[in-house]
């Protein structure tokens, strides 16, 4: 494999050397797996990106504390309960989880991170968690499948992936798992993701590589515009591939960054496609903006518009709703320069419709598919950005109007 060329492989959070994982049912949920553990054989460089929501769950506050050291060795994750808005008890519970995991793993507890996801405002059933931790430790192994299942909430499928790239003469692997669905949004806020690599990367470099990868992936997806109290992306780099440490800019960092970005891009699109009730992956590109920031802002407005999302669900080529969303995005536009393309079909130019009913029918055929592309050209510059979202279906409403889940 040529240096810097990335290669997707089957795999996940245990694909990189020196990582093991487990996923068990401990009783937070009635039946499904609800506790996951990811462990590195040796202490690793660690970095994290956390929700920008000012109301942060206890485990987020704990991890933000931990990550300052730049070190980590394990993550314990539970689904079925967010441990958010749980006051001081929530913080005590998160700390106890880390302490117990450290004990059973015979590991410094400061190297243990915690992630939680599920309903907000409900105290953690700690008896179940206490029973589950030793069981998860007993189940640690080379297969990451159960761990990826144990972190799901309303997701319909597991999201895992792995990428290899040659750094120097050494092949390194970056793998990971995510949970998403519902409550996924711009501004970092997104989901739980645990990424692992056997590359050796200095903590500060790992931190900026993770931020760059997240900016082009997890931060560019949006399902319902809400930002969660618990969103967390963690990465551990344990150096077990034996490649030289990446300490700053250069070919090695470029290769690692490419692999990491391919992985996070794939995981992010998998999350968007699996938004609650979603039937389509929708890619919104805004080009011709004055700046990339403007392009992103306009693309987000389109991606978050309920009217756009419902019309895509119904495969109706209502390009006027797209124009309207661009118009209220806050971005400076000249309406009579805007062009809109749905898939390959130009439906509006210079701010007005072109091509008549046949054209709209053709665009509707594109919208009926599972992969939808919408492109808006603002015609005022060279800024361009893409965001990913899904359609909005009746199913979304049913899921979220239902029981605590």
Binding site for a copy of itself (CB under 8 A): 52-56, 82, 84-87, 89-90, 119-123, 182-183, 185, 187, 189, 224-229, 304-307, 310-311, 313-314, 316, 318-321, 323-328, 331-333, 335-336, 338, 348, 350-353, 392-394, 396-398, 400-404
CA–CA distance, 139 with 146 (Å, rounded to integer): 10
Catalytic residue, from 117, 154, 173, 190: name it: 190
334 is in an annotated binding site: no
Closer by beta carbon to a copy of itself, 90 or else 176: 90
Looking at the Cβ atoms of 4 and 351, the one nearer to a copy of itself is 351
The answer to whether the annotation marks 400 as part of a ligand binding site is: yes
User: CB-wise, 1 or 404, nearer to a copy of itself?
Assistant: 404
Which two structure tokens, joined as six digits, stand for 233?
């992306």
At 336, list the tokens: 């009579």
Please state the closest distance from residue 138 (CB atom) to a copy of itself, in A.
33
Instruction: State how far the Cα of 396 lies from the Cα of 141, in Å rounded to an integer.
Output: 36
- Determine if residue 179 is labeled as part of a ligand binding site: yes
**Residues 244-263, buried b or exposed e (16+ Cβ, 10 A)?**
eebeeeeebbebbbbbbbbb
d(CA 71, CA 78): 21
C-alpha distances in Å from residue 344, one per residue of 266, 336, 359, 364: 23, 21, 11, 11
Minimum CB distance to a copy of itself smaller for 18 or for 364: 364
Give me the least distance between CB of 32 and a copy of itself, in Å please. 20
Is 365 labeled as ligand-binding?
no
Rounded Cα distance between 187 and 51, Å, is 8
Taking the complex as a whole, how short is the minimal distance between the CB of residue 105 and a copy of itself, in angstroms? Answer: 30
> At its nearest, how many Å lie between a copy of itself and the CB of residue 313?
5
Q: Does residue 264 carry a catalytic annotation? A: no
Shorter beta-carbon distance to a copy of itself: residue 66 or 227: 227
Q: Are 80 and 123 in contact (CB under 8 A)?
A: no
The response to whether 153 counts as a known ligand-binding position is yes
Nearer to a copy of itself, 232 or 393 (CB): 393
Closer of 265 and 343 to a copy of itself (Cβ): 343
Q: Supply the minimum distance, in Å, between the C-beta of residue 154 and a copy of itself.
A: 11
Token pair for 259: 């692999």
**Binding-site residue ranges for substrate:** 153, 179, 190, 276, 400
Which active-site residues does the annotation give?
190
**Binding-site residue ranges:** 153, 179, 190, 276, 400
């Amino acid at each position: 494999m040529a240096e810097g060329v990335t290669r997707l492989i089957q795999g996940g959070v245990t694909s990189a050397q020196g990582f093991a994982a487990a996923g068990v049912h401990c009783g937070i949920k009635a039946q499904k797996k609800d506790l996951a553990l990811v462990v590195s054989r040796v202490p690793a460089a660690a970095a994290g990106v956390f929700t920008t929501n000012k109301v942060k769950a206890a485990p987020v506050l704990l991890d933000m504390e931990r990550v300052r050291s730049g070190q980590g060795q394990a993550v314990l994750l539970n689904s079925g309960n967010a441990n958010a808005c749980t006051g001081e008890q929530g913080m005590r519970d998160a700390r106890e989880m880390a302490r117990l995991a450290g004990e059973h793993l015979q590991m410094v507890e400061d190297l243990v991170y915690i992630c939680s996801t599920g309903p907000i405002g409900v105290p953690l059933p700690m008896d179940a968690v206490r029973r589950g931790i030793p069981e998860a430790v007993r189940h640690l192994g080379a297969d990451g499948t159960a761990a990826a299942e144990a972190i799901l909430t309303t997701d319909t499928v597991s999201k895992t992936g792995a990428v290899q790239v040659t750094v120097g003469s050494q092949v390194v692997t970056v793998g990971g798992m995510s949970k998403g669905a519902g409550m996924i949004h711009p501004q970092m806020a997104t989901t739980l993701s645990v990424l692992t690599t056997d590359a050796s990367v200095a903590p500060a470099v790992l931190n900026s590589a993770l931020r760059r990868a997240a900016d082009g992936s997890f931060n560019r997806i949006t399902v319902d515009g809400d930002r969660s109290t618990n969103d967390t992306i963690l990465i551990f780099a344990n150096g077990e591939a034996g490649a030289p440490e990446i300490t700053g800019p250069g070919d090695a960092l470029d290769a690692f960054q490419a692999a990491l970005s391919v992985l996070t891009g794939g995981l992010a699109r998998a999350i968007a496609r699996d938004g609650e009730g979603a039937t389509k992956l929708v890619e919104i590109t805004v080009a011709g903006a004055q700046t990339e920031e403007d392009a992103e802002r306009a693309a987000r407005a389109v991606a978050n518009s309920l009217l756009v999302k419902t019309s895509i669900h119904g495969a109706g080529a209502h390009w006027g709703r797209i124009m309207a969303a661009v118009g209220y995005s806050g971005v400076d536009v000249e309406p009579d320069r805007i062009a809109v393309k749905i898939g390959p079909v130009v439906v509006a130019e210079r701010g007005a419709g072109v091509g008549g009913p046949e054209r709209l029918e053709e665009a509707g055929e594109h919208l009926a598919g599972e992969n939808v592309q919408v492109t808006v050209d603002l015609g005022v510059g060279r800024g361009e950005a893409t965001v990913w979202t899904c359609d909005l279906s009746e199913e979304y409403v049913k899921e979220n109007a239902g029981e605590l889940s």
